[in-house]
């Protein structure tokens, strides 16, 4: 009888031991995913846009990436004049883009947007020279704004 009690007691404590180490593990896993959550957290500045503004902005952005694609394609064929037109009309500081940029409350974002579109006009100007190296450099300058803004801001 005594032996049985000891065996049961032993099993019980082993059982507890397993349980607590399992809890430890769960805890550790939880902590791990917590750290991961911190890691993937989007720490960029939010613009706090309305749903309608979000869609409008994304549509604009898709037009920007399409313009860059067209410009690169035209450059590969020596189509500098057409590429220049696209730079002015799709990336440049048109009245529409000026209005759009000025509608943002965040001053840094607004200024970055305006500087970006000015660089689009400068790209249009450079493309007219039909100088490939200068044109690629100007396109790179414009794309630096894409990269910089995306690294800093989110919707
Ligand atoms: C002044 C800031 C700014 C500049 C400059 C800018 N963007 Fe964006 N773009 C944004 C923001 C903000 C978003 C939304 C990102 C988010 O919320 O994750 C975005 C999103 C996008 C998207 C995603 C569109 C979608 O439908 O999901 C693309 C593509 C994009 N930008 C392309 C470009 C390209 C190409 C350029 C440069 C030629 C550019 N952007 C310049 C601010 C900018």
Atom 21 in ligand 1: residue holding the nearest Cα: 61
- Indicate if the pLDDT at residue 7 is higher than 90: no
pLDDT value at position 28?
43
Residue 40, pLDDT score: 80
Give, using CA atoms, the residue closest to atom 8 of ligand 1: 61
96-118 burial, b at 16+ Cβ within 10 Å, e below that, comes to: ebeebbeebeeeebeebbbebbe
Q: What is the pLDDT of residues 96-138, one digit of tens each?
A: 999 999 999 999 999 999 999 999 999 999 999 999 999 999 9
Task: Give the dihedral sign, CA 126/129/131/132.
Answer: positive
State the pLDDT at residue 12.
46
- Give the Å distance between the CA of 100 and the centre of ligand 1: 14
Residue 145 confidence (pLDDT) above 90:
yes
Tell me how far apart the alpha carbons of residues 79 and 131 are, in angstroms, rounded to a whole number.
Answer: 11
* pLDDT per residue as tens digits for the range 21-64: 444 434 444 444 455 555 689 999 999 999 999 999 999 999 99
| Res 11: pLDDT | 45
Average pLDDT over residues 5-17: 46
The candidate with the shortest Cα–Cα distance to 67, out of 52, 89, 51, 48, is: 89
Distances from the Cα of 114 to the Cα of 49, 50, 103, 107, angstroms: 18, 21, 11, 10
Q: What is the largest CA-CA distance in the chain?
A: 101
* Residue of 146, 151, 154 with the most ligand 1 atoms within 8 Å of its CB, for mutation: 146
Of residues 15 and 66, the one with the higher pLDDT is: 66
Structure tokens at 144: 């630096």
């Amino acid at each position: 009888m005594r032996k049985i009690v000891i065996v049961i007691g032993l099993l019980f404590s082993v059982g507890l031991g397993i349980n607590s180490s399992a809890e430890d593990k769960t805890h550790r896993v939880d902590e791990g995913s917590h750290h991961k959550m911190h890691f993937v957290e989007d720490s960029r500045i939010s613009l706090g846009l309305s749903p309608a503004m979000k869609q409008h902005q994304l549509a604009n952005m898709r037009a920007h990436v399409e313009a860059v694609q067209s410009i690169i394609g035209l450059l590969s064929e020596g189509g500098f004049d057409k590429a220049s037109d696209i730079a002015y009309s799709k990336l440049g500081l048109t009245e529409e883009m000026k209005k759009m940029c000025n509608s943002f409350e965040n001053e840094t974002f607004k200024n970055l947007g305006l500087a970006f579109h000015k660089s689009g006009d400068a790209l249009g100007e450079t493309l007219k020279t039909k100088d490939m190296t200068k044109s690629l450099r100007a396109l790179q300058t414009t794309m630096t704004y894409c990269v910089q803004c995306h690294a800093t801001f989110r919707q």
